[in-house]
Structure 1
């Protein structure tokens, strides 16, 4: 039994090393609820046609807010999601690398790392935030307590734009389950709606879990 335990430990260590070398960040946003809870949350979301973009402006979602010391929300996520990140007195990274789980790429230049709003600000406007105060929209745009913010490559973030999962999904299909669970949880926590095509796409992504 002792030999078996040693063998299992060695195997698990090897798997861990392989996964690490394949590419993972030091940390990610909080884990979203599991697939069963995600399906329940999805069923509870209001389904309605997307609202108008009338009056929308990113400035209506003040970001990035100060968090601790000299660090704002963007810098906080860069520190959280990066590997080997060191920062200067202004909290901006001097070194580090970031694994973009959307497209499975490592990015070493922090200026090329985007902090993605998983539920894009424009999408949220069409889903309910248009009726909020700017102060509440600021809380939403800087939300670190859910899966709303994640460091990804600029190319993947620009490809996504303000699309919902009916129009855009990460090219990394292995991340679809987590992406859908996070998207659903953010909308559930913040009381946002989904349209029918979006709901169907999310349900399909949960089938990958």
Structure 2
């Protein structure tokens, strides 16, 4: 794993920073206040029957430029750009892992986290999608909140949990995380269970009621 360099990261308003492309809500479509978006989420029990991670084909090279979705996210989110070599091999570079407020040197210590994990998406409605729809979800580069480069340690700590059972260890990141989670759930019309909804409502009442731009599927 690359060396971790811990340092506070805030934007001009003093709020926790995200990678530049993920802080802006510039996607096309309606902008919805965060708390309204939470109130609009559909509630349903989760059902993991039949789940298989391979049902979500991921890290494809959709634009055939030689770089997989994983590499595209790393290139886009880099604080210091890496060198891009043959077959999109990345050398050097620096990233900010907002879950724990840490800087990472080199891509080897990073995972690409599906903001709403694949298993959670399955539980929440993706079980009824086509294989192509699941592939699009697993490789969503159009919604900058859907995929995020974070340290492998905390991506694996999160695993397939929702905010009812897991939140970033860095408390200053939790409003950004909540916003990201609700944005993705809203875009894909994914349901929430009662525990998850209660957490979203509680945290949402404590966070800025920022407008989100989920975009469309």
- Normalized against structure 2, the TM-score is what? 0.80
Structure with greater helix share of residues:
1
CA separation of 1:174 and 1:36: change in aligned 2, threshold 3 A: farther
Ranges of 4+ aligned residues in structure 1 off by more than 2 Å: 23-33
Mapped contact 2:91–2:106 kept (Cα < 8 A): no
Q: Which one of 47, 51, 54 corresponds to residue 59 of structure 1?
A: 54
Give deviations 1:128-164, integer Å, cap 9, x for gaps: 0011111100000111222110000000101101000
Is residue 69 of structure 2 the alignment partner of residue 73 of structure 1? Answer: yes
Q: Which has the higher contact order (CA 8 A, sep 6+)?
A: 2
Give deviations 1:25-77, integer Å, cap 9, x for gaps: 763436359x97111111111111111x2211111000111044111110000
Counterpart CA distance in 2 for 1:119 and 1:54 is 18
Q: Which residue of 2 aligns with 1:122?
A: 119
Q: Note the 1:27-176 alignment, pairs <5 A.
A: 27-29=20-22, 31-32=24-25, 37-51=33-47, 53-68=48-63, 69-84=65-80, 85-146=82-143, 147-176=145-174
Aligned length: 188
- Normalized against structure 1, the TM-score is what? 0.83
Counterpart CA distance in 1 for 2:202 and 2:21 is 23
